[in-house]
Amino acid sequence: MQYYLSLPYTIITKEINDETGHYYAGRVEELYDVKTVGGTIEELYKNIRELLEMAIEDRIEDGEEIPEPIEEKYSGRILARIPKSLHKFLAEQAQKENTSLNQLILYKLSK
């Protein structure tokens, strides 16, 4: 248990201001069921830590695999050289679809 709690899991946070008020929402990227809110950022991190402990404990008890943090070598960013003609074609297609070139390429790669 302590081994997993010592790992650098990816915590995604977002400050929310909506009709229900001001608060923070957060989740652990590697563990889909660890998501919560807090009135302050400190409260949010405390709540995430508690949920992380419970999620890991449940997985250990159930004999389930416990995901480890995403390796930092996968930043989500790649650099690719492509022919000028393909660049032009994709840029024009993105413009026609009123989207960014990045979004169009992401869509095409995810098919």
pLDDT digits (tens, 9 = 90+) for 19-36: 999 999 999 999 999 999
Amino acid symbol at 3: Y
The model's confidence at residue 72, banded by pLDDT at 50, 70 and 90, is low
Lowest mean pLDDT among 11-20, 50-59, 71-80: 71-80
| Predicted structure pTM score | 0.62
Tell me which residue of 60, 55, 13, 10 sits closest to 37, measured CA to CA.
Answer: 13
Q: Residue 74 — very low, low, confident or very high, per pLDDT cuts 50/70/90?
A: low
| Residue 70 token pair | 């995403």
What is the structure's pLDDT at 76?
73
